[in-house]
């Protein structure tokens, strides 16, 4: 009797789970599928040259691009970073400010 819940996810399954969580989270904020694609690409362009980032900084830069205030929350940002790291082999340093 194998317990499927304890089986580790494959990389593809993990990416699907991350994408699904991100889509649901951002859709709940009122973003359309096209908006979600664009905001993820905008975050990617902000992070692609490396550096250290906070969610506040990313949101500030996104607002300059026309996005609503605080369009990305901490969890959504973590999901985007996880996708970049898993799918594109990027290393992103994230700083959480309390």
Kindly report whether the global pTM for this prediction surpasses the value 0.75: yes
Contacts of 86 (CB under 8 A, 6+ apart): 11, 14, 15, 18
Q: What angle do CA 58, 62, 68 make, to 5 degrees?
A: 120
Q: Range with the lowest mean pLDDT among 6-10, 16-20, 58-62?
A: 6-10
Judged by DSSP in three states, 97 sits in coil
What integer best gives the mean pLDDT of the chain?
Answer: 84
Contact 22, 84 (CB under 8 A): no
Span 38-48, pLDDT tens digits? 999 999 999 88
Confidence check: pLDDT of 51 > 90: no
More confident residue, 64 or 8: 64
Confidence check: pLDDT of 3 > 90: no
pLDDT at 1: 46
Q: What residue ranges do the domains of the chain occupy?
A: 11-89
């Amino acid at each position: 009797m194998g317990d499927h819940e304890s089986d580790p996810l494959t990389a593809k399954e993990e990416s699907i789970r991350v994408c699904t969580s991100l889509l649901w989270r951002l859709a709940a904020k009122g973003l359309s599928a096209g908006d979600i694609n664009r905001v993820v690409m905008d975050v990617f362009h902000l992070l692609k040259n490396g550096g250290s980032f906070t969610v506040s900084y990313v949101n500030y830069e996104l607002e300059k691009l026309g996005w609503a205030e605080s369009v990305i929350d901490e969890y959504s940002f973590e999901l985007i970073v996880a996708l970049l790291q898993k799918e594109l082999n990027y290393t992103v340093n994230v700083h959480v400010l309390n």
